[in-house]
């Protein structure tokens, strides 16, 4: 396939994703998105004199000392959000044993979230990462901007093999000055996770979308098979007829998945698991409904 043919194929997928995502946002996600993320923060507005009944915790002691009478800080609800999609495009993202690769599943989720955000008047940005944070698009508004983001996810070709959640989190912490909503979209095949995700969650509202493929969870009985690590290129022949090997593999992958859940729960990070072989829209919808319920408590 020539470079021009590759671009045309990617753009064809982008156009299909656009039509699907717009319909789903219109029919399903718009209200859930708004109730889940709208008006999450407060912006400082001005000072005014303290009045009976005001909350003491809003008194600004520096201004009070300067003016000789109590002053409080006034706030206004932050109406515009910055949403950043941090998408893992490392080698493992291109794996898929069914109709979709993990990267395509991530692009679909990004399209739905992106169109939901711009439809709500919010800005959307993109960070692509693999071994390093290698491509960043600052948050902006507009349909064309979302289409560019989806195209960039599908066309990304990182120069370094490997995955680093740490590099992605460090970049976002350094780059984003104001509190933002971060959707970390990855298979999270990386270590460590605890420290970088906890640092990110302390500064920004963080949501994890773990993308997986069914063949990663259970090793099929298929005789001797040569496996290639997409991150490093390392190859090994494995006898998948060995029951103990299959059991050990399944246990290892289950432990990895449980580890991601534990890290997210400990750090107050909402988690949805998106698989290449099932309806990812239902998973996203449940995530938004869960967040909406938390806000009303």
The domains of the chain, with CATH numbers, are 3-38+80-296 (3.40.50.410), 42-77 (no CATH)
Angle between helix axes 143-155 and 102-119 (nearest 10 degrees) is 170
Tell me the per-residue pLDDT of 16-49, one tens digit each, with 9 for 90 and over: 767 766 776 666 666 666 666 654 455 556 777 8
Tokens coding 92: 């493992």
Which of 13-17, 175-179, 236-240 is least confident? 13-17
pLDDT at position 241 is 92
- Whether the bond into 192 is cis, omega within 30 of 0: yes
For residues 241-261, give the mean pLDDT.
94
**Cβ–Cβ < 8 Å for 137, 126:** yes
Angle at 156 between CA 169 and CA 279, to 5 degrees: 80
- What is the chain's mean pLDDT, rounded? 85
pLDDT at position 85 is 98
Tell which wins on pLDDT, 197 or 55: 197
Tell me the per-residue pLDDT of 49-99, one tens digit each, with 9 for 90 and over: 888 777 777 788 888 888 888 888 776 545 567 899 999 999 999 998 887
pLDDT at position 88 is 97
Tell which wins on pLDDT, 135 or 236: 135
**Distance of alpha carbon 273 from alpha carbon 207, whole angstroms:** 11
Task: Please identify which residue in the block is written with the tokens 């029951």.
Answer: 243
**Distance of alpha carbon 44 from alpha carbon 28, whole angstroms:** 34
pLDDT at position 40 is 47
Q: Of the ranges 37-46, 232-241, 276-285, which is most confident?
A: 232-241
**Cβ–Cβ < 8 Å for 123, 144:** no
pLDDT at position 72 is 83
**Distance of alpha carbon 210 from alpha carbon 188, whole angstroms:** 7
Please count the residues of the chain: 297
pLDDT at position 294 is 66
Query: For residue 296, is pLDDT > 60?
Result: no
The model's pTM is 0.80
Q: Of the ranges 150-159, 165-174, 218-227, which is most confident?
A: 165-174
pLDDT at position 43 is 54
**Distance of alpha carbon 112 from alpha carbon 124, whole angstroms:** 12
């Amino acid at each position: 396939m020539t470079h021009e043919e590759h671009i045309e194929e990617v753009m064809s997928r982008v156009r299909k994703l656009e039509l699907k995502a717009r319909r789903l946002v219109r029919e399903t996600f718009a209200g859930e998105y708004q109730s889940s993320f709208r008006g999450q923060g407060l912006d400082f507005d001005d000072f005014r004199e303290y009045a009976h009944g005001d909350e003491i915790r809003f008194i600004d002691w520096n201004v009070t000392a300067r003016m000789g009478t109590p002053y409080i800080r006034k706030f206004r609800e932050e109406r515009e959000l910055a949403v950043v999609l941090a998408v893992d495009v490392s080698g493992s993202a291109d794996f898929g044993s069914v109709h979709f690769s993990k990267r395509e599943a991530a692009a679909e989720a990004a399209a739905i979230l992106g169109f939901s955000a711009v439809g709500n008047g919010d800005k959307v940005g993109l960070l692509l990462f693999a071994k390093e944070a290698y491509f960043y698009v600052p948050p902006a508004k507009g349909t064309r901007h979302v289409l560019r983001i989806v195209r960039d996810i599908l066309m990304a070709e990182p120069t370094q093999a490997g995955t680093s959640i740490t590099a992605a989190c460090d970049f976002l912490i350094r780059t984003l000055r104001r509190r933002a909503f971060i959707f970390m979209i990855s298979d999270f095949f990386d270590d460590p996770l605890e420290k970088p995700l906890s640092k990110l969650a302390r500064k920004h509202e963080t949501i994890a979308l773990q993308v997986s493929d069914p063949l990663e969870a259970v090793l099929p009985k298929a005789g001797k098979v040569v496996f290639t690590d997409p991150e490093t290129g390392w190859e090994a022949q494995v006898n998948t007829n060995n029951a103990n090997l299959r059991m050990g593999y399944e246990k290892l992958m289950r432990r990895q998945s449980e580890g991601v859940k534990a890290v997210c729960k400990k750090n107050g990070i909402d988690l949805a698991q998106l698989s290449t072989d099932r309806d990812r829209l239902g998973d996203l919808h449940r995530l938004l409904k869960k967040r909406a319920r938390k806000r009303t408590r």
